[in-house]
Amino acid sequence: MNPNHITIIGGGNLGVAIAEGLIASKYIAPANLTITRRQIEKLDHLAAKGVITSDNNSKSCLRGNLIILAVKPYQIKEILEEIKPVLDPNKHVLASVVTGVTLEDMQSVIGSDVSVFRVMPNTAIAIRESMTCIATNNADQESQQSILELFKQLGDAIMIDEGLMSASTVLGACGIAYTMRFIRAAIQGGIEIGFSSEVSQQIAVQTVKGAASLLMETGNHPEQEIDRVTTPKGCTIAGLNEMEHQGFSSSLIKGIKISHGKISGIAEEFERK
Ligand SMILES: NC(=O)C1=CN([C@@H]2O[C@H](COP(=O)(O)OP(=O)(O)OC[C@H]3O[C@@H](n4cnc5c(N)ncnc54)[C@H](O)[C@@H]3O)[C@@H](O)[C@H]2O)C=CC1
Ligand SMILES: O=C(O)[C@@H]1CCC=N1
């Protein structure tokens, strides 16, 4: 399966980010990309780039062979019922980015003839820097390879067991928000010690990028890199230890666990519809 036309159903935050990443990657021409939402005027910026915008999900599915579902968890069941009559197992592959809704949930509506994937990117997909985790229970190796290759164009991508999909949602997708909050706090601290907001942001953002790049390029554990920074009796270790006394790592780990626990509640929205 090589996606020759991609249809994204749900042109909200993530759907638009995926479209932008696809356009930037040149993986697919804008004319081979369709995106839907009910208020299509909100997709005018994509239409201006040559993307097909529509408020008709079924017609849009006829155009695409890869269909990406990017709606809220409580909306997906209704949409699956709507597009089911036009789904063709010999043509279509379905990929859902919807949080908490399982492959089995989706197959309970559309059956298991069509290959279905759960895909968990993050909003950095817009600039081709997503970490995307992918799972399936019925797609053949060739389709798995195609989907993996596609999302590798948009950052990094790995196949995982579906049982880890909620964990990947939290670490990868929610992780963007956690990291932004770290950066915001660093900016605020930088202002307290003398920088303007703009310069503080410039320093904080490049420092986070540098830290991530160090780990990517060396493969080191963060603590190895921390050891290189913490001069004995120095200012880094003093600040780090104070942050830990205040619960820095603990609060992050607890937050990750709370987010993870919340996902089973999100999945119930599928059942209630
Ligand atoms: N925002 C994020 O960072 C991430 C979101 N997700 C998941 O992706 C899904 C979408 O999230 P967001 O983009 O943030 O939500 P959103 O609310 O911004 O986007 C959903 C879009 O679907 C549209 N929509 C609703 N009913 C429709 C219909 N019948 N036909 C066509 N379009 C319809 C809405 O108008 C809206 O634009 C959710 O299930 C979320 O859990 C997953 C990973 C990251
Ligand atoms: O907050 C949420 O529920 C969604 C899923 C991951 C990112 N945003």
Q: How far is the CA of 40 from the centre of ligand 1 (A)?
A: 14
- Whole-angstrom distance, CA of residue 105 vs CA of residue 143: 21
For residue range 90-140, list pLDDT tens digits in order.
Answer: 999 999 999 999 999 999 999 999 999 999 999 999 999 999 999 999 999
Per-residue model confidence (pLDDT) at position 169:
98
For residue range 137-175, list pLDDT tens digits in order.
Answer: 999 999 999 999 999 999 999 999 999 999 999 999 999
Ligand nearest to the CA of 74: 1
Per-residue model confidence (pLDDT) at position 1:
79
* Residue 15, Ramachandran bin (φ over 0: left; ψ between -120 and 50: alpha; else beta): alpha
Q: Whose CA is nearest to atom 5 of ligand 2?
A: 99
Residue 272 confidence class, pLDDT cut points 50, 70, 90: low
Residue from 16, 53, 72, 84 whose mutation best tests the ligand 1 pocket (most atoms within 8 A of CB): 72
- Whole-angstrom distance, CA of residue 215 vs CA of residue 218: 5
Residue 270 confidence class, pLDDT cut points 50, 70, 90: confident
Q: How far is the CA of 34 from the centre of ligand 1 (A)?
A: 15
Ligand 1: residues whose CB is within 6 Å? 9-15, 36-38, 57, 70-73, 75, 79, 97-99, 120, 122-123, 173
Amino acid occupying residue 72: K
Ligand 2 in contact with 173 (CB < 6 A)? yes
Q: How far is the CA of 142 from the centre of ligand 1 (A)?
A: 28
Q: Do the Cβ atoms of 6 and 66 come closer than 8 Å? A: yes
Per-residue model confidence (pLDDT) at position 268:
75
Per-residue model confidence (pLDDT) at position 265:
82
Beta bridge partner(s), residue 115: 93
Per-residue model confidence (pLDDT) at position 264:
81
Q: How far is the CA of 212 from the centre of ligand 1 (A)?
A: 28
- Whole-angstrom distance, CA of residue 255 vs CA of residue 261: 10
Q: Do the Cβ atoms of 51 and 78 come closer than 8 Å? A: no
Ligand 2 in contact with 99 (CB < 6 A)? yes
- Whole-angstrom distance, CA of residue 82 vs CA of residue 13: 22
Q: Does the pLDDT value for residue 19 go beyond 70?
A: yes
Q: How far is the CA of 95 from the centre of ligand 2 (A)?
A: 17
For residue range 42-79, list pLDDT tens digits in order.
Answer: 999 999 999 999 999 999 999 999 999 999 999 999 99
Ligand 2 in contact with 54 (CB < 6 A)? no
What domains can be seen in the chain, in order of their start residue?
Answer: 6-160 (3.40.50.720), 169-267 (1.10.3730.10)
Per-residue model confidence (pLDDT) at position 126:
98
Burial label for 136, CB within 10 Å (0-12, 13-18, 19+), is buried
- Whole-angstrom distance, CA of residue 272 vs CA of residue 14: 24
For the chain, the 3-state helix, strand and coil shares in percent, each to the nearest 5, are 60, 15, 25
Give the percent of the chain with pLDDT over 90.
95
Q: How far is the CA of 30 from the centre of ligand 2 (A)?
A: 27
Atom of ligand 2 nearest to the CA of 263: 3
